Structure 1
Amino acid sequence: MACVSRSLPRARLPLRSFLALPTPTRRYLTNNGFFRVSDEVREALNSKKPVVALETTIYTHGFPYPENVALASLLESVVRVNGGVPATIGILDGVARVGMDPEELIRLTESAGKNTTLKLSRRDLSYVCGLRLAGKSFNGGTTIAGTMLLAHLAGIKIFGTGGLGGVHRGAESSMDISADLTELGRTPVTVVSSGCKSFLDIPRTLEYLETEGVGVGTFADGRQGSVDFPAFWSRDSGVKSPTTIENEIEAAAIIHAQDTLQIQSGLLFANPVPADAAIPKEEMDSVIAEAIRQADAQGVIGKDNTPFILAKIKELTKGASIPANRALIESNVRRAAIVARELAVLETKQDQASGPVSSFIPPSAQPVPTALPEKTAETPAFSIPQGPAVLTDNVVPADIVVAGALAVDFSCDYSPLPGSSNQTDPSFHTSNPAVISQSLGGVAHNIAKAAHLLGSSVRLCSAIGDDLSGRAALSQLQAEGMQSDGIKVLPTPHRTAQYVAVNNAHKDLTLAMADMSILESSTPDAINKVWLQDLQASPKKPTCVIADANWDPAALHTWLRYTKSINALSIFEPVSIAKSTRIFPIPPTQSSLTSPSSDVKLDVFPHNIIDMATPNIYELAAMHDRAAELDLFSSPTWFRVIDALGIPPSGLRVPLSITTTAELVDQGVPQQSIKLLPFIPTLLTKLGPKGVLLTKIVKADDAVLSDPDQAKFVLARCKNGDREIGGLYVRLFAPERVLGPGEVVSVNGVGDTFLGALAAGIVGGRSVQDAIPLAQRAAGLSLRSRESVSSELRGLRGEIGV
């Protein structure tokens, strides 16, 4: 227990010539239906904290309940007290877990001894995970081989355990060789153990590891000169270790070199059992000989051999092997945590010297809802009107179609009383003094209005209820001079959409409530018959279609498929964190990819169904995490696009920090954007007062590739001969001027104004990068206006040529 109460001071080793060599970019497995990395472990890996993998076979097949619970708690505490983050690895209900919380650990340890709790090596993982889909649920403790594999898939480099499997005595005829050894030969994870079980053939085990190319070393642990490879319960085995390691910092240096050299095999660092818990070699030799004799007499072979011999050793030593076992496991985990800590020090030095590599491991984002709310009697499915419910049947051609929410907006600006304790933010759970204004809004309406004010021909496609708010909205729309033939009136109980924004004294959003059920209850059939039939009948097709995320996922994809069918520019506005992920299909575990609002199945997410999207940083993170959850980052098409971009092995940390900011790179914003490009080839991430981040795939024939003024923004160029992809363009557009708190009147329609102006600029013939400054100026005008979209946008028409 001494390991928990105190940690060792950092060992000192003079590093006279630390070389800051680039570490290769690794593709680690993302969360999916068979594999889950806990938020704590993901965050630790992303921020390069020390992480130590821990196995679970010792809990499921080594110690009985509740002793196994106590041991699990102890080992995780050992890692934490020595500066690391524990990642206990096991299988629960057919899902591989990397990093288990206390409840999950208790569930696994309680299941020890049950027929459905298995001992799992590499070969067994697909079996137990796959059978979950067939309705059979298994738990399992992972062996060293199984734990190594799962740890590597998550990006963990160090693993602390008890004893390694090895070559069994008589293996020349039985071929009984542990899978742990072959795993070490092909998986770049460092294992810290007390050697291998001493009833194995230690010389042949070391020979086999040499054949597999595994580096083996033994900690000196205070001894001088060359030392023995340990024999689990005994500090000496009579077999000299291939190398001796003085301390943890030497071990970390070896791991760092192995990783930098991209050697794709593991390392074995043997840590002798603590001297006060060791059993003398001579005593253990006689015990082991007797245990092996009994195993041979009873014909115990294969995977049953090790458990049988361990039980016999416990019996023959009268239980003395158990405290030795506990002590060595605790010591090994402690040693692994310190090595992980020292490795983090070396990697930090490398980052400081050359900049850390962009590894595409994003920080954990805010939780994203995984399913849409079920329908209630108040929100029936969108019914198709039986007759025209619009002012005119004539379809007026439009260059831009905007499909989404038309709503009545209420803006509640906090107006504190003199002497109020909080002069900035309203108080929760009580009434607050405010200035409340009402206007016509909704994301799609605001986008359409901005484009309209800039002179573009725009058709807004939305729905309103047959209520007072709906009639007022339709009247206001006509007063603004906008087309109204795309607005459909639905009967009761459908309600006109409403949006209520509560802002603080600086007009920054504090809380918002939205009722958009009138669109969320739509169906693809309704989209086709209510809106698309009219658009298809028009002699002129739109050149740009913008869809906001207020639609049901199936309806949203209907709009996007229509856009691709007419070869128009498709733009997706995510609207909010929760709704931003509607662009992706619902996973098979959630309604079998079926939208809650219809019985139409969503397709597997098609690449490039969207040409452009305009999320903020929180929506971007939510979209990234949903794509990772759906395992979209492991698809062949994704890899083809990413490989074609020509990103160098050294990563993009430094160039991204130059073209954007170090702060954004630390947050992972440009990295997340780049990962989403195979699905959305142009991303404009709205950063508020920090500007707009443009991340896009440059086509092979784009003039940007040969433009010297644009060269610094082309961070990678295609080198594999791809005929479609030319490279990667990343650029941060800072605003012309950041407004002070007193200058900001309303923030409610700023992002929508930006997108409407952007679309108007693109349709008017500007490139995306040329349209962004115009859109930023338009957004600035709305910031200074009481209206969601400032009427002063008309003054910018000359910049578009209208």
Structure 2
Amino acid sequence: MILPSRAACRPQLFVPSSRLQSANGRRQLTNNGFFRVSEEVREALNSKKPVVALETTIYTHGFPYPDNVALASLLESVVRTNGGVPATIGILDGVARVGMDPEELIKLASSAGKATTLKLSRRDLSYVGGLRLTGKLFNGGTTIAGTMLLAQLAGIKIFGTGGLGGVHRGAESSMDISADLTELGRTPVTVVSSGCKSFLDIPRTLEYLETEGVGVGTFADGRQGSVDFPAFWSRDSGVKSPTTIADEIEAAAIIYAQHSLQIQSGLLFANPVPVEAAIPKEEMDFVIAEALRQADASKASGKDNTPFVLNKIKELTKGKSIPANRALIESNVKRASVIARELAILEAKQSDAQGQTSSYFTPSVSNLANPVQQQMSDAFLSTSQSSSAPDTPASSIVEPRVGAEVVVAGALAVDFSCDYAPFAKSADHIEPLPHTSNPAVINQSLGGVAHNIAKAAHLLGARVQLHSAVGDDFSGNAALSQLQGEGMSTTGIEVLPAPARTAQYVAVNNVNKDLTLAMADMSILETIPKATISELALSLFEGSSARPSIFVADANWSSANLHTWLQAARHPSTTTIFEPVSTAKATRIFPPASSSSKPTINVFPRPLADIITPNTYELSALHDFAHQASHFEHADWFPVIDALGIPPTGLRVPLAITTTSEIVDQGIPQQAIKLLPFFPTIATKLGPQGVLMVKLLEADAPELHDDAERQYVLARNMGGHKKIGGLYVRLFPPERILSPEEVVSVNGIGDTFCGALAVGLMGGARVQHVIDFAQRAASLSLKSKESVSPELRTLKEEVVKLRR
């Protein structure tokens, strides 16, 4: 069977009237003294998230320490970045582990080369487990066969690895056949590998797999017609693959059918080594012939044959086989992750079609017609499953998933909140003392402005995609894990190698939980090249058929990258929101003061951002910067201000009536009005005083004719300007000011406000109709120990009302 190599639509899913028992006959083992599944993997399997098994022989018998630790971290990050949960499988102290934390991985990897660290296949698992009872403790890396078995016992269906074992040359007399092949014949786990090593007998390997009833297919990668089964370091082997698979969508459909039919054998999906890392077949044929000749001369046979040949291949290729090995492993794990993601979608659709409640999962769009688009889509585009109606017919069709409603780009950080807690004798001190150590209550959580905004939108029921970056370090891995624990997709999170560091934010709060001092290391976003962001932004906004309703950017990006994001997002169907973050970073929205360029004042339809959400300090910073940079002297600035229709007597009295004399004395509305040519809607957060909204009205704005809104229209354009209609100013006091005892943390309230504002605007509501809702959401976070309160879920019904 040759399947088409073009990108396929997601398959139709035919759901029978009775529930498919795809798990029948598959053994599920609970944790015991010999077998342990990590909490993260258990949770992922229970909530039907995509899980990918990873082997450990490559760490214990393939790469030296600490290179093996770096590889393990990389492969787990690849799984997380592509929307899956990694389940690294190995043996520690005689116990089979499915899913390892960083400390366990380091312990196993650092034991490489020791006599007590073994290479373990199916036959060896009971040996190391049993000897544990006698006090003999072994560590071990599991082979493909051993990993498949343990993955099946845990309920994992997909496994990404390097190369498969096979039938050795001369096996007709030696009977040297890898246990990997027989395991595939009896264990219903799908293996994604780069074929088998080319010094094996590939034709006989495929014949043996056919005898064992193993389905074998090779990814076409855009190639037409039948393709070769790959030969590990080379994309071609001279042996045609039994079947061709167009993409991950088709692969997931095959796996789904396999388990639905309760076929108790595995599948082998061959993923050719990436083109840029491949070694030509002709070159490898010569190298392998020489390596095998030397193995025969040295009488290296049995279990010593493969290590000897591999070492000779490394020598004869002058080390080229090592980077090829790394590249193909990473590529296979990525492909396995995308397949797992697509399989999770099919399984979720089955549950939805049968009226069952499927767990929340936000996979990413896979546009696989073009390899470059595929890579971009895997990393940066998202969609979510849509629930079927109660009357879904038995024959249900999987429709293409729609894109994210809210896209947020900015900081994902590990947050430390330090609340000053003075001793009883110094209880009259409100602020921590400088130049000394202060007693405090310190909490650690996942934060970052963009993360908090995205989390708030997610809790309020929006389909959200977060775009950020973490370092390839423990903090980064922890952040990705926790992000998935929050039910949010990680497909938009880039994992950057050292020296990039995962962002961290430290907030020092006084006794009243008000911020005294904050320190932020967000340099990871500032070091990403502009060209990279341009490519990613284009893939998100121009490469997607469904644009987001709302795009939010925080100021943690460099000025160039911030402008790249906002320019790419601008579209009549997308509202752009800018969160200034801090006084130091807020001004990145403008060109630098040293630049000869000035911001283009073209309010309709392309301002710098449609909406900004500063606090009073950030508003002042924006105003002062614009003044010092002479932006208020721009040739296009005054015509916009003049078109607002502000009377010669000014607006002090109307502003004082609409807001308060105190706010006017501080110059807050005046500063906002001067900034309107750059940001036509400014929602300034005033703390206990509420939110001040200053808005530049378009010529056809409904506020100009609405009796309920007229009191807030403080000036009207009487000069017939084609685009500008007037000025809208309104103060939104909070529904209730919380007492100091109710305030738990202030660290995430501004971000919560912004996230709730974004969700409220998705259905086309006017900003003034959403601000009260956003303030209620912020008050929930004010009363929560978490930066974004989980109680936001209780406001989902209000979101529905805002959309009506």
Normalising by structure 2, report the TM-score.
0.49
Q: Which protein is bigger by CA-based radius of gyration?
A: 1
Give the alignment's TM-score, normalised by structure 1.
0.49
